[in-house]
Structure 1
Amino acid sequence: MVKTEKSSRNRNLILGIIFDLVGYASYGVPFLAEITDVVWAPIAGFVLSRMYKGTVGRVGGLLEFLEELIPGTDFIPTFTLTWIYTYLIKKEEK
């Protein structure tokens, strides 16, 4: 079965929102947040780099990794922002 652009687009948006919420979940457990961020950062960076091809995936994965590691930046929805860049902003440039 061949994925259409629309199905990939919808899948990436839904997964992105879910993964951003997982990143936010660390705020729910005081003092445990730093430990969970250290575990989640490489996983999130890897997942984002696989969701998007090429430079967007590599840069997005690196930014997600750093965003999870740097204290106080967990509120940034990197997965969703990458989706917006890929499917709305970048598409307009073509």
Structure 2
Amino acid sequence: MDNKYRKLIKCVLLDTVGMASLAIPVIGPFLDVVWAPIAASISYKMFGERKGKYTSLITFLEELLPATDVIPSFTIFWFLFDFLGIGKEKSHLEKTPDAGFAKVRQ
């Protein structure tokens, strides 16, 4: 199995853990207070330093705020960054304005 899809499985499992507090009527909101910083830390590590700054903040708020546990934030981030490739860094050569000119034809 491709590493990209292993990461998807981890994201779905983490979202399931985040949603599990909905099943516990009285204690659930208190579990969210504990889970929010843990989920934010995992999100930061999963999506890297640059994107992780934003994903961890969004994940923290999503887990902490009431009635937002149903949002699968980890899976959404995986879809955006790993599946669609949004925000992928390009090589230095591709960023230069004359990159097409620099290619050598054979």
Give the TM-score normalised by the residue count of structure 1: 0.84
Aligned match for 2:58, one of 63, 66, 75? 63
Q: What is the rounded CA distance, in whole Å, between the counterparts of 2:44 and 2:51 in structure 1?
A: 8
Gap regions ≥5 residues in structure 1: 1-5
2:46 paired residue number: 51
Decide whether aligned partners of structure 1 residues 57 and 7 sit closer, same or farther in structure 2, where only a CA change above 3 A counts. Answer: farther
Structure that is richer in helix per residue: 1
* Structure 1 counterpart of 2:86: 90
Q: Which structure exhibits the higher relative contact order, with contacts defined as CA atoms closer than 8 Å and separated by 6 or more residues?
A: 1
* Deviation digits for residues 26-71 of structure 1 (CA, Å, limit 9, x no counterpart): 0111011111000000000000100111321111111000101111
- Which amino acid is the alignment partner of residue 39 of structure 2? A
Which amino acid in 1 is paired with 2:5? N
Aligned to 2:6: 11
Any stretches of 5+ residues in structure 2 without a counterpart?
91-106
Where in structure 1 do 4 or more consecutive aligned residues deviate above 3 Å? none
SS in 1 for 2:68: coil
Percent identical: 40
Equivalent of 2:24 in 6, 20, 29 = 29
Q: What is the letter of the counterpart of residue 70 of structure 1?
A: L
- Structure 1 residue 11 displacement after superposition: 2.2
Shift of 1:9: 1.2
Compare CA radii of gyration and give the structure with the larger one: 2
User: In the comparison of the two structures, how many residue pairs are matched?
Assistant: 88
CA distance in 2, matches of 1:32, 1:15: 25
The corresponding residue for 1:3 is none
- How many angstroms apart in 2 are the aligned matches of 1:91 and 1:46? 20
AA partner of residue 90 (structure 1): I
